[in-house]
Amino acid sequence: MNIKIALLGGDGIGPDVILQAVKCLQAVEETFNHTFSYTEALVGAIAIEKTGNPLPTETIEICKNADAILFGAIGDPKYDHNPEATIRPEQGLLQLRKELDLFTNIRPVQVFPTLIDRSPLRKEIIQGTNFTIYRELTGGIYFGEKKLSADGTVASDLCEYSEKEVSRIAHLAFKAAKSRRKKLTLVDKANVLESSRLWRKVVTKIGESYPEVHLDFMFVDNAAMQIILNPNQFDVILTENMFGDIISDESSVIGGSIGLLPSASIGAEHALFEPIHGSYPQAKDKDIANPIAAILSAAMLLEHFGLEEETRAVLKAVNKSLRKEVVTPDINPNSPYGTSHVGDFIANNIVDTEDQLNINNENIGLGKSTII
Ligand code: IPM
Ligand code: MN
């Protein structure tokens, strides 16, 4: 299969982790005889620096012409600490989501059995966690009208949703639930917000066409608590843009590191794959960032194109790196391995699943004998 992939490394650790994901995709090409082509494009703070625009027109064109986009991370502390900045790196990603109409953001949350003891939460609570967040991505408070009074003392952000915006993602979430454990939880704040009441109405109605799926509702404040208290109660969570942003970061602690969680942003015509972690500027160029979330995002890309065996090969190689503790310091503070070594290990294990070679490979990293 030929797939045209736009590579948007972005800021901070983004380019580092995307490089590792590309190594893995190349390993998939080699092993399964595919041809992927890669076109790099600028986005975020780096794009502002080079062009004055966080999403240059050229980048939009490259993304529109690609079959899929692999995205690193966005953001720079320079802008975070400057409330006066009118051009911000994040605008690049938000505009891209809007421009490509990537209305559904899918964030799977799972616990890797090998890492269960590394989670800050107790094993009994998190064992078996496996849920997916369907976050609406192009509406709500992120994109509603923004106002700032002339004297700069009053500000507002409008949270607006239309029936159509709710219904298109709701169908995808119900379909996902149908193919999983058949439970859908709508997370909202319907006791306070009019927009949440619209969500409930529309989702309840759509639920009638999916009778096999059990639909329930949870207020977002309670959901924030339940995700930590009993994550096993969730199968598919459907929620609006801002709530989804917050609960997906929260959910990432279950697995022990935010550096493990991938995501897919899907529209009718385009698809973008990105780790859920941010740009982690402190780790830039230090070779310590965890590449697994980016590599798993590449696996979601493969899955999106129906390449199941290829997806499994990537997951298997990732599991092996965790099992053999070829991991970055966020997972094991004493680990001698860095971003690129972990990327190499996973890519090599996609190409060659022979155990002996892998032991050999590990020895190289440890500076031990490479003769087996
Ligand atoms: C995410 C990020 C973005 C968001 C930022 C970088 C704009 O936090 O993808 O979760 O808030 O959506
Ligand atoms: Mn976020």
Q: How far is the CA of 366 from the centre of ligand 1 (A)?
A: 36
Q: How many CA atoms lie within 13 A of 31 on its CB side?
A: 20
Question: In this predicted model, what pLDDT tens digit does every residue of 281-300 receive, in sequence order?
Answer: 999 999 999 999 999 999 99
Nearest protein Cα to ligand 1, atom 5 = 90
352 counts as catalytic: no
Q: Is 189 part of the annotated catalytic residue set? A: yes
What is the pLDDT at residue 149? 98
In this predicted model, what pLDDT tens digit does every residue of 228-248 receive, in sequence order?
999 999 999 999 999 999 999
| pLDDT > 50? residue 367 | no
Range from 44-48, 116-120, 194-198 carrying the lowest mean pLDDT:
116-120
* Per-residue confidence band for 302, with pLDDT thresholds at 50, 70 and 90: very high
Q: Is the pLDDT of residue 355 over 60?
A: no
Active site residue 287: no
Judged against a pLDDT cut of 70, whether residue 274 lies above it is answered with yes
- The better pLDDT of the pair 353, 70 is held by 70
At residue 174, the pLDDT reads: 98
Q: Whose CA is nearest to atom 11 of ligand 1?
A: 245
Mean pLDDT calculated for residue range 125-145: 97
- Tell me which DSSP letter residue 232 carries: G
Indicate whether residue 74 lines ligand 1 (CB < 6 A): yes
Residue with tokens 């600490």: 81
pLDDT of residue 82: 82
CA 176 from centre of chain:
17
**Considering only CA atoms, which residue is closest to atom 9 of ligand 1?**
276
Average pLDDT over residues 185-192: 98
Amino acid at 46: I
* Mean pLDDT across the chain: 93
Give the burial class of 94: count Cβ atoms within 10 A of its Cβ; 0-12 exposed, 13-18 middle, 19 or more buried.
Answer: middle
Which residue among 80, 221, 285, 355 is the active-site one?
221
- pLDDT band at 358; cut points 50, 70, 90: very low
Please identify, by atom number, the ligand 1 atom nearest to the C-alpha of residue 105: 9
* pLDDT per position as a tens digit, 26-77: 999 999 999 999 999 999 999 999 999 999 999 999 999 999 999 999 999 9
Nearest residue CA, atom 4 of ligand 1? 245
Residue 280 catalytic?
A: no
In degrees, rounded to 5, the angle at the alpha carbon of residue 94 between the alpha carbons of residues 92 and 97 is 110
Q: Whole-angstrom Cα distance, residue 204 to residue 37?
A: 43
Cα gap 66→57, rounded to integer Å:
14
CB 118 within 8 Å of CB 256:
yes
Residue 221 annotated in active site: yes
Q: What is the pLDDT at residue 353?
A: 73
Please indicate whether residue 89, judged by its CB atom, sits closer than 6 Å to ligand 1.
no
Our answer on whether the CB atom of 90 is closer than 6 Å to any ligand 1 atom is: yes
**3-state secondary structure at position 67:** coil
